Amino acid sequence: MDTHGPLSISMGRFRLLIEYEGTRYRGWQVQKNARSVQGELMRAVQEVGQTTEFEFHGAGRTDAGVHALGQVAHLELRTMLAPEILRMKLNDILPADINVLHVAKAAANFHARHHAVSRSYLYHISRRRTAMGKRFVWWIKDPLDIMLMAGSMELFRGMKDFRSFAEEDPERPSTKVLIEELRLEEAGDLILFRVRGSHFIWKMVRRMVGVLAGVGRGTLSLNDVKGFLTEHSDTPARLTAPPSGLFLERVYYPGDPILTHMQPVILVNHD
C-alpha cells in the first residue's frame, strides 16, 4: 500500500540563461507570421510541460538577426521536473542555434525584465572579409581610425537623449538612456565594441556603431556626434550597422559582478 500519496506537481518559477544565433529569426519576441527565438522556446516548453498554461518572458528584445550570449528569461510552469532535467529536455527539442545554458529555481516574484539593472551589448567589426565569421561580424573595407572612434565613443557616456539613435517604440516613449560603460578593443582583425547601460531602445546600439564607424572612416566629426545627442538627426538611422555583428552579452541583476574583459565570439585573424 502506498502511504506517500500522489506526487505533488506545483507551480514554480525558473530563471533561464539562454544563448542563440539570431541569423534565422525575426528577433526574440513572438510574432504571428515569423519565426522568433521566444516562439521556439515556448513551443519547447509546451512540449516538455504538456501544457499551454505557463508564463515566459525575456529580459529584453533583440532585433532580427541579432545574437545573444546571455539572454535571461523567467518561466512560470507547473512541473515536478528538477531545473537541470528541465534544461536538458528543452535542449533536446530546441533547434541547434538556440541553447539553454542554465536553469535555476527563482523567487516567486522574479521578473527577468523588470528586475534587471543593466544590460551589455557586444559588437564585432571585422577589418577583413571572412568566410567563417560573416554571420557574426560587420566587415568594413575602409581603414578605421581607432583613436578617433574611442574619443567619440566617450560622448555617449552618462545620461543622454538618444532620440537620433532610436526607432520609435511605443513601449518605451522616453529616449533618455544611462550609459554606464563603453569599451573599444582590437582582437586580431576584429574591433570589439561594448556598451553597458540601464536599457536600450530599438536599434540604438546598431546606430551607435554606425556613427562610430563613420567617425573612424573620417566622414563624421566629434561635433557631428555631439549634434546627434543635442538635436534630432536622421543621419544615425542611415548609418545603422547590420545586425550580424551584434550580441546581447549579459543581463545584470542586483549584486552581479561586472565583466572586466571582452571575449570575441569568433576570432578573425590572418597571418
Indicate whether 218 pLDDT > 80. yes
Task: Work out the pLDDT band at 264, boundaries 50, 70, 90.
Answer: confident
All 3 cell numbers of residue 214? Answer: 563613420
Indicate whether 152 pLDDT > 90. yes
- Give the closest residue to 264 by CA, choosing from 207, 189, 208: 189
Estimate the share of the chain in helix, then strand, then coil, as percent rounded to the nearest 5.
25, 30, 45
Average pLDDT over residues 150-175: 88
- In this structure, whether the domain defined by 118-252 belongs to CATH 3.30.70.660 is answered with yes
In this structure, which amino acid lies at residue 228? F
The confidence score (pLDDT) of residue 193 equals: 97
Indicate whether 8 pLDDT > 90. no
Residue 63 is among the residues annotated as catalytic for this protein: yes
Percent of the chain with pLDDT over 70: 93
The confidence score (pLDDT) of residue 32 equals: 85
- The pLDDT tens digits for 229-257 are 999 999 999 999 999 999 999 999 999 99
Q: Give Cα separations from 115 to 71, 184, 253 (angstroms).
A: 14, 28, 7
- Give the closest residue to 139 by CA, choosing from 11, 266, 271: 266
- The pLDDT tens digits for 184-213 are 999 989 999 999 999 999 899 999 999 999
Task: Work out the pLDDT band at 7, boundaries 50, 70, 90.
Answer: very low
Indicate whether 228 pLDDT > 80. yes
CA atoms within 13 A on the CB side of 258: 13
Buried b (16+ CB within 10 A) or exposed e, 147-161: ebbbebbebbeeebb
The confidence score (pLDDT) of residue 9 equals: 60
Three-state DSSP at 137 gives coil
Q: Taking the mean position of all CA atoms in its chain, how far away is CA 257?
A: 18
All 3 cell numbers of residue 8? Answer: 505533488
Runs of H (alpha helix) within the chain: 37-49, 83-93, 146-153, 204-217, 222-228, 235-238
Q: Taking the mean position of all CA atoms in its chain, how far away is CA 35?
A: 17
Alpha-carbon distance of 164 to 151, in angstroms, equals 19
- The pLDDT tens digits for 54-94 are 999 999 999 999 999 999 999 999 999 999 999 999 999 99
Domain limits, the chain: 10-105, 118-252
User: Looking up cell 582590437, which residue turns up?
Assistant: 186
Predicted TM-score (pTM) of the model is 0.91
Contact by Cβ (8 Å): 226, 157: no
The confidence score (pLDDT) of residue 132 equals: 87
Active site residue: 63, 92, 145, 224, which one?
63
The confidence score (pLDDT) of residue 185 equals: 95
Indicate whether 1 pLDDT > 50. no
Which fold is adopted by the domain 10-105? Alpha-Beta Plaits (3.30.70)
The confidence score (pLDDT) of residue 265 equals: 86
Alpha-carbon distance of 119 to 251, in angstroms, equals 4
Contact by Cβ (8 Å): 125, 144: yes
Contact by Cβ (8 Å): 189, 268: yes
Greater confidence (10 vs 20) lies with 20
Greater confidence (253 vs 4) lies with 253
All 3 cell numbers of residue 198? Answer: 540601464
CA atoms within 13 A on the CB side of 59: 28
Alpha-carbon distance of 180 to 266, in angstroms, equals 26
